[in-house]
Amino acid sequence: MTDEREAPPLPGRAVIEQRWSRACFLHWRVDPGTLAPMLPPGTHPDVFDGSAWVGLVPFVLSEFRFLPLPPVPLVGSFVEINVRTYAVDAEGRRGVVFRTLEAEHLLPVLGARALFGLPYRWARAGVREDGPLIEYRSRRHTRAAEATRIRVRRSGTSVDTPLSRFLTARWGFHEQHLGRTIWAANTHEPWPLVEASVDTLDDDLVADAGFRGLAGRQPDSVLAMPARHPGFRTRFSAARPIGRH
> What is the pLDDT at residue 74?
61
Asked if residue 63 is part of any domain, the answer here is yes
Examine residue 226 and state whether it is found in any structural domain, yes or no.
yes
7 in a domain, yes or no?
A: no
pLDDT at position 114, please? 76
Rounded to an integer, what distance in angstroms lies between the CA atom of residue 2 and that of residue 172?
10
User: Strand, helix or coil at 177?
Assistant: strand
Instruction: Decide if 36 is inside a domain.
Output: yes
Q: What is the pLDDT of residue 70?
A: 82
In a domain, 2, yes or no: no
- The CATH number linked to 166 is 2.40.400.10
For the chain, 245 residues long, the average pLDDT of each consecutive 10-residue run is 74 92 98 95 96 98 87 79 97 95 80 79 94 97 95 97 96 93 95 97 97 95 96 94 68
Domain range for 220: 14-239
pLDDT (0 to 100) of residue 1:
40
Residue 8 lies in a domain: no
Please state the domain count of the chain.
1
| pLDDT at res. 245 | 42
pLDDT at 158: 97
DSSP-assigned letter for residue 48 = B
3 located within any domain: no
Q: SS3 for 165? A: helix
Query: Closest Cα partner for 166 from 42, 49, 81?
Result: 49
- At residue 178, the pLDDT reads 86
Instruction: For residue 184, report the phi and psi dihedrals to the nearest 5 degrees.
Output: -125, 120
The residue ranges of DSSP E strands in the chain, in sequence order, are: 14-21, 24-30, 43-45, 52-66, 78-89, 94-103, 120-130, 133-140, 147-158, 172-177, 180-187, 194-203, 221-224, 232-237, 240-241
Residue 195 within a domain: yes
